[in-house]
Chain A
């Protein structure tokens, strides 16, 4: 299971991503525990599988409106659909990869799996629990979900 300090790694990683890549910081809301069957996703979701010394997944899910704004904030002149789709995977990849600073090289991350739309289930393993960490960036809400054994 995740400890409080594990959660802090992902919270700090998310803050670092947005403060370095954009000119606006994120606000963190109170994390809560859910079963994978209760997880609800938004328009775009970037999922990173975790293997090695820890097993599980990390994903970031956000609305299209936020991702369009994020793409523009990264310096693009237009929020092309390919960029909007890609950016959620890159956010998930960066936050998960940065977690190795704390967890070490045994924390193996996959390439991002991108899910578009709001399917009822996104193929997460059943009977697992994950922490949902709600954030707000530039008034847009988004969520980071972490489930690690």
Chain B
């Protein structure tokens, strides 16, 4: 399983990469904004994506829509500081499968990703 981390913060990209412990993961690629994410996505076609929302060049909400158009079964977890319910609901409507609010712990990150992968495998199996 391939994963892409999209966040304009180097600290957050490295934190996610360092703290993920998913046995099924074989490769991780990263992008610094929505525009770069589309290029990296097309090149590597990851199965799993973590997506920030507030970024330069292309915001995460728009990027989620674009990624879902390219590969509808991509599992996207939005990881954002925008803590209001409306933002989380909008992210899900755009095609994300889950929402994790910053700041987050290692346990919260892995729990959120594990839930999404389990859900995705259930959907594929049914």
Contacts and interface: CB of A to CB of B under 8 A. Distances in A.
Contacts of A97: 54, 80-83, 102
A105 B54 contact: no
Nearest to A75: B18
Q: How large is the interface on B (under 10, 10 to 19, 20 to 34, 35 or more residues)?
A: 20 to 34
Interface in A29-64: none
A24 B19 CA distance: 19
B59 to A, nearest CB: 9
A57 B76 CA distance: 31
A112 to B, nearest CB: 8
Interface residues of A, number: 29
Interface in A81-107: 82-83, 86-87, 89-90, 93-101, 103-105
Contacts of A104: 84, 86
B55 A111 contact: yes
Contact of A111 (B8, B15, B87): B8
State the main secondary structure of chain A at its contact with B.
Answer: helix
B56 A111 contact: yes
A100 B10 contact: no
A88 B79 CA distance: 18
B11 A74 contact: yes
Contacts of B101: 98
A101 B103 contact: no
B84 A100 contact: yes
Find the residue from A86, A97, A101 having the highest chain B CB count within 10 A.
A97
Given A75-B18, A111-B8, A98 B83 contact: yes
Contacts of B15: 74-75
A83 B12 CA distance: 10
Contacts of A71: 11
Contacts of B83: 97-101
B9 interface: yes
A109 B54 contact: yes
A111 B84 contact: no
A83 B10 contact: yes
B104 interface: yes
B84 A20 contact: no
Interface of A: 16-17, 20-21, 71, 74-76, 82-83, 86-87, 89-90, 93-101, 103-105, 109-111
6 contacts: A86-B10, A94-B81, A94-B103, A97-B82, A105-B87, A111-B55
